[in-house]
Structure 1
Amino acid sequence: MSIISKTVEAPAKGVRMAIISNRMEGIARKMQNTLFRTARSGVLNTAHDFSCVILTADCELLASAESLPIHTLIGPDIMCQYVKKYHPVLKAGDCFLHNSPYEGDSHAADHCLIVPVVDEEGITRFFVLAKAHQADCGNSKPTTYMGDASDVYNEGALIFSAAKIQSGYEDNQDLIRMCRARIRVSEQWWGDYLATLGAVRIGERELLALGKEIGWDTLKDYAESWFAYSEDKMAQAISRLPSGKVTVHSAHDPFPGVPNGIPVNVTLEIDATAGRITVDLTDNIDCQPSGLNLSEGCARTSAMIGIYNGLLDHSVPPNAGSFRRVEVKLRENCVVGIPRHPASCSVATTNLADRVSSPVQRAMAEIASGYGMAEVGSIMPPAMGVISGKDPKSGEAFVNQIFLGVSGGAGTPISDGYLTMIHTGNAGLCRQDSVEVDELHHPLFVASRELVTDTEGAGRHRGAPSIRSEFGPVDGCNMTVIYTADGTINPALGAAGGGPGGLSDAFKRERDGSLTRLPGCYGLALAPGESVISVSAGGGGYGDPKTRSPEAVFADLSEGWISVERAREVYGLAITGSAEDGTLAIDIAATEALRALA
């Protein structure tokens, strides 16, 4: 082959790879849209707490569209491997229900449907997987987050290990009956199951059509090229960092089963020359009698999330190719490692996972100036709790997770914290509920939702402030709110000189208007006339607050996000005039003098 023909072939191959990559992402998006538009529970059709991915026949993550990172980076590959282990012969029309945290899934509440894409010759070409967080999964309490579960038996969820729920495109009615009998909102679950099934069948149909259109060999070559390209992009991104090694510490608040909290040690090593990063989580305590233990999928994924966040390079595709440049070291029976049955992993996607992701991105900030991030605010205040009760209008039971007010975004070297980040694991992809929609769907009244002044992590780029919200049941309804809040004691820490975010908090408003402070993990019973006040955790700041642009500080002051006192004392901003008469302005000379004293 001549030099000219080689030169022509390389760009052509790259163009073909880009086109097929977009086709794959498009298929994943079709799966996403199918699930979003047809799901029945609010946690899916409002909050968007689900993910859809495509994997190769070798169980390597290929495409994920806008899926939640904690659902998709690591875990789908392990789950597909278990499908192949338990079902060596796969056929068209098969579908498997899998939610075992001991075999790749995140936690029992995330029901996964896995379909092998089998061609006309009976060869498995791909897998498609849809993971949907359930409103109820059969736990012993009406919540999918059992933070106080002493073990999996106390947790109580139905757990399926690559169970064949369809053969020849027909449902296994035995499994359907099990779910309908155990899950409190069985009709809602049935609708969500059909929505998830529709998503994977759409993915299967589209991949079969694509294989017929361009050929399976072409798709196999594409996957190999895409992984190689992604690995190279990751190696390049790591090579721009300085080499170094650091150990950082974090801690989850005290909780039922862990009265002293859970300390977390994260050791991060960057080898820029080799283009590799290692995260060591082995120096941590054993699994605890609590629902906070991480599943293997969540432990590996949470470390990966911190790395992708800290690189600040969105051109690196998150797939099995770029994963090759990262090693996450875990050990068995570790609270942030590989759990042993019967340790409960009920809250594995959120609380302790964030106590791994955030320190990883903060560690990157310590090693590499201009990289990494501060810590994201901790998760799961009452406004992100699971509500349940009986609707006085219909007489029917309801169970659903709400997303009424959670913020937490961390400051970065280039931007302020994303206001509705929620937590590192969903990367801001879950959505805050509409007040009107929640009130329409459930017998609750939302009294207020507002940002809390002076709760942002101060910095050159500040963290997101806290959100305060208040809600309760309508007349004639008794409601239970179960939540598992972290960050009431240990705030989200800043990076590179940035300050911590505000703490999470919760109160019960009694009928007489008095307030009672609530613990971090609680099942709260509310009667008509009572309400719960939820305060989410603010995100940490990045960089010295006194290097923040005076204009940016003034904008936060004007919006009411910070007070005059905080603007002066923390950010070194002096002002003149008054907000009342519209003369408020920056005093440039006084600001320079204030900052010179720092």
Structure 2
Amino acid sequence: MTEKQKERVALDPTVLAVIANRVDAILREMTNTLLRSGRSAILTTARDFSCSIVTGDNRLLATAEGLPVHIFGSHLQTETMMKLHQDIAPGDAFLHNDPYSGNTHAADHTILVPVFVGDKHMFTAVAKAHQADIGNSQPSTYMPTAKDVYEEGALIFPATRVQRNYSDIDDIIRLCRLRIRVPDQWYGDYLATLGSARIGERRLIELVEKYGQETIEAFVEEWFDYSERRIAHALKGFKSGTYSASTAHDPLPGIVEESIPINITATVDAEGGHIEIDLRDNIDCLEAGINLSRATSVNSTVTGIFNVLDADIPHNHGTIRRIKVLLRENCIVGYPIHPTSCSMATSNVADRLINVTQSALSQATEFGVAEGGASLGAGTAVIAGKDKRRGNTPFVNQLVVTAMGGAASAMADGWLTMGVPVTGGLLLRDSVEIDELKYPIIIDKIVAVADSGGAGKYRGGASTRIEYGPRFADMSVAVMADSKINPARGARGGLPGRPHYIALRDNRTNEESEIGSFGVFNVGVHQRIVGIDAGGGGFGNPWERDPARVLEDVLEGWVTLECASNVYGVAFSGSGDKIAVDDQQTELLRRQLASA
């Protein structure tokens, strides 16, 4: 025991647990505040926002149900706030969306509220919310082909003070309202995010007043130590060694004509309870918007690690200090130099980095994970136009109305509504009814696609097909879909998931024409955009899947009879909903598959 530990207040384990749960309750209250008071559908139905709490000395304390891509870099943002402002005081609030100084990407507007108890800055309440519009040159917060931040056009705020003495600094508000296409929607979301952080401030002060500053400071240190012990113990179940893996992002037409490789080397010290991830063996940043920021390079790696660990290990500074991530400057999965664009740093390459991290570590543990579907296609597109119902006012919003097949693991089938890997299953799917009320669109169909999840002993999550379009006037639809050329890979003999598909259909002729994976497309009132997102990869050999589960898949529509026979090696007797597994013929089919 160190001298510092000896000097701490003795903390009963029950008190430790009670305070830990109280901190999580504060985060959930922050989350509910933002969810119920936000303006845009991307916040109020999809819940594309996250809350976290950081200590006054910039250590991540708690994350509750925050999206992994948002919260693991929160401390980088508070470090910037502390570095740039020497006069931080109660009543301050800061707007931070600068990807060059700790934020994820420019679309994630983060409100930082320093929490003072007396004269001491004890915590910072952090609320990060994805915006529908941020002043980009195109009506989208994702610009994969932007050569630099100037072509991207986003307003950048490097921990800029937006409140003093609990009052707005109006210059900043005016600036945003003049540059953002949907100013009232943005301002409503700003107030919701600010309110969330202020709730966190109020509740944290109450927490310290109830237990005393000395007890809360002791809790912080003991909570970190407990969390560190948990991850160290979990890593003892791994096999020590160095493990490498690679994957690839689809080409970017006109920028990169070949698949973009993503490489990782993981070194596990099981006995010592440490893990090191080396990302330096990757290409330099591209003149495009898919480069990762420092925050997303780190948080995507950390997410991939947590995906193969016990789910209830706390996600905070204590666990993260057992993880070392090696980055280099000007690397696509490192950290960019201004004005390199990283408009899409929270998707695409970030999803690939999570996938390849968990693939590498699957070699070191029995709990392996395949790749998840990663495809910001038609169902997660950014729609924009003019709403004739509301005086021709502009609208911009990102939809989240498809599922994206989750990765299969060594224990379970892929999660149907996992979403892209960076969201960790915490992004909600839109309410169709609310989307149609808020925006002048009509959604005709959302249906699961058979045989789209990668086959395996455990099956990848299925794709979904969506069809939608404008009601009254043309609108633009921005898509930025990966996983057509390089679908989600399976693991340990599992097969890849289905590639994505995007097309425009003419409702008068019913003709469907496939369009590109990247771009902003005009959709007319007589057209529909049609999309199938990417399926998740399977885990283990398909002919090892329990025949009873294959039968259930067939009856539920996840797998066709043809796929059940040709891929899973399962034969049936009977017909319709009266079919049953033919054990003898199944054994014969599987022997043939295994020897092929």
Task: Find 2:279's aligned residue among 278, 281, 285.
Answer: 281
Residues 459 and 542 in structure 1, CA contact (< 8 A), matched pair in contact too:
yes
2:153 maps to amino acid? G
- For residues 184-224 of structure 1, the C-alpha deviation after alignment (integer angstroms, 9 at most, x for no partner) is 00000010000001000000001111111111111111010
Divergent runs of 4+, >4 A: none
How big is the shift at 1:512? 2.2
- For residues 518-573 of structure 1, the C-alpha deviation after alignment (integer angstroms, 9 at most, x for no partner) is 11101110111101101100000111111111111111111111111110111111
Partner of 2:35: 36
Residues 139 and 384 in structure 2, CA contact (< 8 A), matched pair in contact too:
yes
- For residues 449-494 of structure 1, the C-alpha deviation after alignment (integer angstroms, 9 at most, x for no partner) is 11111111111111011111111111x3111000100001101001
Task: Find 1:191's aligned residue among 188, 196, 200.
Answer: 188
Counterpart check, 1:588 vs 2:586: no
- For residues 63-95 of structure 1, the C-alpha deviation after alignment (integer angstroms, 9 at most, x for no partner) is 11111001011x211110010001122110000
Counterpart check, 1:98 vs 2:104: no
Partner of 2:240: 243
Task: Find 2:177's aligned residue among 173, 177, 180.
Answer: 180
Residues 366 and 495 in structure 1, CA contact (< 8 A), matched pair in contact too:
no
Q: Structure 2: where are the runs of 5+ without partners?
A: 1-5
Task: Find 2:334's aligned residue among 323, 334, 337.
Answer: 337
How big is the shift at 1:60? 0.8
**Distance in 2, Cα, partners of 1:333 & 1:13:** 47
2:49 maps to amino acid? F
How big is the shift at 1:406? 3.0
1:237 maps to amino acid? A
**Distance in 2, Cα, partners of 1:14 & 1:589:** 57
How big is the shift at 1:434? 1.9
Counterpart check, 1:383 vs 2:382: no
**Distance in 1, Cα, partners of 2:326 & 2:369:** 22
2:331 maps to amino acid? C
Partner of 1:15: 14
Residues 138 and 158 in structure 1, CA contact (< 8 A), matched pair in contact too:
yes
**Distance in 1, Cα, partners of 2:361 & 2:548:** 28
How big is the shift at 1:263? 1.0
Task: Report SS of the residue matched to 2:385.
Answer: strand
Residues 54 and 129 in structure 1, CA contact (< 8 A), matched pair in contact too:
yes
Counterpart check, 1:86 vs 2:81: no
2:483 maps to amino acid? G
Partner of 2:324: 327
User: Which residues in structure 2 correspond to 1:3-402 (within 5 Å)?
Assistant: 13-73=12-72, 75-120=73-118, 122-256=119-253, 257-311=255-309, 313-368=310-365, 370-394=366-390, 395-402=392-399
Task: Report SS of the residue matched to 2:520.
Answer: strand
Residues 384 and 406 in structure 1, CA contact (< 8 A), matched pair in contact too:
no
2:280 maps to amino acid? T
- For residues 114-147 of structure 1, the C-alpha deviation after alignment (integer angstroms, 9 at most, x for no partner) is 0100122x21011110000001011110001111
**Distance in 2, Cα, partners of 1:354 & 1:279:** 16
Partner of 1:416: 413
Task: Report SS of the residue matched to 2:558.
Answer: coil
Residues 258 and 290 in structure 1, CA contact (< 8 A), matched pair in contact too:
no
2:101 maps to amino acid? E
Counterpart check, 1:563 vs 2:565: no
How big is the shift at 1:379? 2.1
1:594 maps to amino acid? L
Task: Report SS of the residue matched to 1:131.
Answer: strand
Counterpart check, 1:529 vs 2:526: yes
- For residues 15-65 of structure 1, the C-alpha deviation after alignment (integer angstroms, 9 at most, x for no partner) is 111110001000011100000000000000000000001111111111111
The answer to which of 259-268 and 407-416 deviates more is 259-268
Residues 450 and 468 in structure 1, CA contact (< 8 A), matched pair in contact too:
yes
**Distance in 1, Cα, partners of 2:46 & 2:312:** 27
**Distance in 1, Cα, partners of 2:363 & 2:494:** 12
**Distance in 1, Cα, partners of 2:259 & 2:166:** 47
2:88 maps to amino acid? L
**Distance in 2, Cα, partners of 1:137 & 1:400:** 11
Task: Report SS of the residue matched to 1:480.
Answer: strand
- For residues 328-360 of structure 1, the C-alpha deviation after alignment (integer angstroms, 9 at most, x for no partner) is 110000011011011101000010001111011
Task: Report SS of the residue matched to 1:198.
Answer: helix
Percent identity of equivalent pairs: 46
2:278 maps to amino acid? D
Residues 379 and 406 in structure 1, CA contact (< 8 A), matched pair in contact too:
no
Residues 363 and 372 in structure 1, CA contact (< 8 A), matched pair in contact too:
no
Q: Structure 1: where are the runs of 5+ without partners?
A: 1-5
TM-score (norm 2): 0.96
Task: Report SS of the residue matched to 1:367.
Answer: coil
Partner of 2:500: 504
How big is the shift at 1:589? 2.0
1:574 maps to amino acid? A
- For residues 418-446 of structure 1, the C-alpha deviation after alignment (integer angstroms, 9 at most, x for no partner) is 11111111111111112222112111111
Task: Report SS of the residue matched to 2:229.
Answer: helix
Query: Number of residue pairs matched?
Result: 583
Task: Report SS of the residue matched to 1:258.
Answer: coil
**Distance in 2, Cα, partners of 1:212 & 1:218:** 10
- For residues 269-326 of structure 1, the C-alpha deviation after alignment (integer angstroms, 9 at most, x for no partner) is 2111111111110000111011000000000110111100012x11311110000111
Task: Report SS of the residue matched to 1:512.
Answer: coil
1:584 maps to amino acid? I
2:162 maps to amino acid? I
Partner of 1:489: 485
Partner of 1:3: none
Partner of 2:3: none
Residues 374 and 421 in structure 2, CA contact (< 8 A), matched pair in contact too:
no
**Distance in 2, Cα, partners of 1:259 & 1:72:** 33
Task: Report SS of the residue matched to 2:418.
Answer: coil
Residues 81 and 94 in structure 2, CA contact (< 8 A), matched pair in contact too:
yes
**Distance in 2, Cα, partners of 1:540 & 1:270:** 25
**Distance in 1, Cα, partners of 2:430 & 2:580:** 36
TM-score (norm 1): 0.96
How big is the shift at 1:505? 1.0
Counterpart check, 1:578 vs 2:578: no
Task: Report SS of the residue matched to 2:362.
Answer: helix
How big is the shift at 1:163? 0.4
Residues 35 and 199 in structure 1, CA contact (< 8 A), matched pair in contact too:
yes
**Distance in 2, Cα, partners of 1:33 & 1:50:** 11
